[in-house]
Amino acid sequence: MKGRVASPTPQNPLEARLLQALRDAGLRLTVQRRAICRYLASTKSHPTAQQIYNALKDEFPSLSLATVYNTLDTLVRLGAIHALGNTGDGAIHYDADIEPHVNLACLQCHRVVDLPCEAVAELDRKVAAESGYRILGARLVYYGLCPECQRAAQQTPSVSVAAHH
């Protein structure tokens, strides 16, 4: 496994795609909107609007939470990112990866991870063929307990029942 490589370069194709979407929508690429796109493109953590705001507000004091929400809404309407809904924490999580994949949401720690899944691409094609829709994207979210939270639960004595004879 290779370590995660942070890529601050504007050549990040995901960031370029988001900026292009805003440009195509006729929006001015303000420094705040650029920062939001860069953050979305640089993270796999499926952040909420509040998390994006918290991550950027020190570096961009003129950024408002409303701007974060507006920019995210616009990107969702353009099909450039996906809104995943809440993961038990009451907040909408956003995903800049719109390639076919499955999201796995942990209801305990509210983390959302990606699982590349070729079957999703096949499902997209099947749905498009049978419905006549031009598919712009799909969101497929599985809910459950992540491996870490399962291990934590097993280490809590009150939870480990019926495992022994």
Question: Which of 21, 38, 50, 28 lies closest to 137, judged by CA?
Answer: 21
Residue 21 binding Zn ion, by CB under 5 A: no
Considering only the C-alpha atoms of the chain, give the largest distance between any 2 of them, rounded to a whole number of Å: 67
Q: In this complex, which beta carbon is closest to Zn ion, that of residue 19 or of residue 146?
A: 146
Rounded least distance, CB 151 to Zn ion, Å: 10
Contact 122, 86 (CB under 8 A): no
Q: In this complex, which beta carbon is closest to Zn ion, that of residue 27 or of residue 149?
A: 149
* 110 vs 107: CA distance, rounded Å: 5
Subset of residues 125 to 154 that bind Zn ion, contact rule: CB under 5 A: 146, 149
Q: 72 burial class (0-12, 13-18, 19+ CB within 10 angstroms)?
A: buried
In this structure, the number of other CB atoms found within 10 A of the CB of residue 64 comes to: 12
Candidates 108, 137, 138, 141; binder of Zn ion (CB under 5 A) is 108
Q: In this complex, which beta carbon is closest to Zn ion, that of residue 62 or of residue 155?
A: 155
Residue 109 binding Zn ion, by CB under 5 A: yes
Q: In this complex, which beta carbon is closest to Zn ion, that of residue 128 or of residue 159?
A: 159
Rounded least distance, CB 146 to Zn ion, Å: 3
